[in-house]
Amino acid sequence: MTTADTLTRPAETSSRDANPDEALLALARAVRDSGYRFTTVTPATHARVNARPENAVARSLRDVLGWSRPFREDAIPAGLTDLMKQAGVLDRAEEGPDDTLLKARIRLSSLDDELFLHAAYPPLAADSVFFGPDTMRFAEAVLAHLEERARTGRPAPRRAVDIGCGSGAAGILVAKRLPEAEVTLVDINPAALRVAGINARLAGVENVRTVHSDMLSGVEGVFDLIVSNPPFMVDAGERAYRHGGGPLGAGLSLRVVEAAAERLAPGGSLVLFTGSAIVEGHDGFRAEAGAICERSGLEWSYREFDPDEYGEELDDPGYAAAERIALVVLTATRRDGVR
């Protein structure tokens, strides 16, 4: 098994009686209790920093579980290595100066004073559980929306859902702030649901459930809050955590808008954080998403969170017509009393 394999097969290196999920949770708790913190960077930055000669082999826990560097067994406390073995997330490294090096198949990143498990760098597998700077931006947009609702006297959401939850970060932060709400994390990726469930336990939130679902097909009823940060890139390998499909990667994002148009409760809102490829000054996603909202009677707003991200992706033939990739936030609300 290579380090590119994901968390869907957790028990291969664990003892027969070990519970890999419990071992993974115990590992995360022990790391948190050590005072560990790590801010995840973009893959491009990660590659540059790890390419420095002095970073070839890990020297600290942050190097092992943040920077995903190969390490010698004595580089971290033995108890943590044992938990990794029990969880089945420890491999022999394929890179490094010798064949005694190990590598963790998971990472831990900081957000909102919590730690979140996700896939190690580089996340090559189709079902990798991704967490990056966009996760942090997405969470910021969702929490800002909750603050705005409270400031304007709107009722707190009672039912919320995170579509394509990945690590579960945004939904878990909603659950922290709304302990009386029912928060559902949905994804088509079993690895994501497993990690999101562990992350919810790590954060100590009890009002979260995970459901295997394509969009909202696996859950019933209407929602007061729908949040989503779906894959939005053009990806030739069609990796689930990255490939958006449709026109210039907008396919999944448009499906989220359509799902929200059908399942928002009166007064309910969608907060969608995504990317849009701009062609000759035209934002095709904005036009199509806005049209869906208009047809459905939703009030909506739209802003560019960052006008120019992922510039390196423009070298991909799939973006031949694009001049930039913008990160955007769409907020759509169903008026009270309207269904």
Rounded (5°) CA angle 154-160-163: 130
Residue 14 has pLDDT above 70, yes or no: no
Looking up tokens 């079993």, which residue turns up?
A: 190
Measured between its terminal Cα atoms, the distance across the chain in Å is 51
pLDDT band at 333 (very low <50, low <70, confident <90, very high): very high
- pLDDT tens, residue by residue, 97-123: 677 899 999 999 999 999 999 999 999
Beta-carbon contacts of 178 under 8 Å, excluding residues fewer than 6 positions away, are 146, 156, 157, 160, 207
Element holding 25 (H helix, E strand): helix 20-33
The DSSP line for 26-92 is HHHHHHHHTT-------HHHHHHHHTSGGGSS--SHHHHHTS---B-GGGS-HHHHHHHHHHT-EEE
Over residues 144-173, mean pLDDT: 97
Residue 9 has pLDDT above 50, yes or no: no
Residue 12 has pLDDT above 50, yes or no: no
pLDDT band at 15 (very low <50, low <70, confident <90, very high): very low
The angle that helices 284-296 and 251-263 make with each other, rounded to 10 degrees, is 10
pLDDT (0 to 100) of residue 126: 83
298 to 148, 222, 261, 264: CA distances (angstroms) = 18, 15, 7, 9
Residue 6 has pLDDT above 80, yes or no: no
- pLDDT tens, residue by residue, 31-52: 999 999 999 999 999 999 999 9
pLDDT (0 to 100) of residue 236: 86
- pLDDT tens, residue by residue, 238-252: 888 889 999 999 999
- pLDDT tens, residue by residue, 66-82: 999 999 999 999 999 99
Residue 95 has pLDDT above 80, yes or no: no
Radius of gyration of the chain (CA): 20
Residue 289's Cβ-count burial label (10 Å; 0-12, 13-18, 19+) is buried
Mean pLDDT computed over every residue of the chain: 92
Whether cis (ω within 30° of 0) applies to the bond prior to 317 is: no
CA distance 99 to 111: 34
Beta-carbon contacts of 212 under 8 Å, excluding residues fewer than 6 positions away, are 186, 187, 188, 190, 193, 218
Q: What 3-state DSSP class applies to 288?
A: helix
CA distance 233 to 257: 17
pLDDT (0 to 100) of residue 338: 54
Domains along the chain with CATH numbers? 20-119 (no CATH), 133-334 (3.40.50.150)
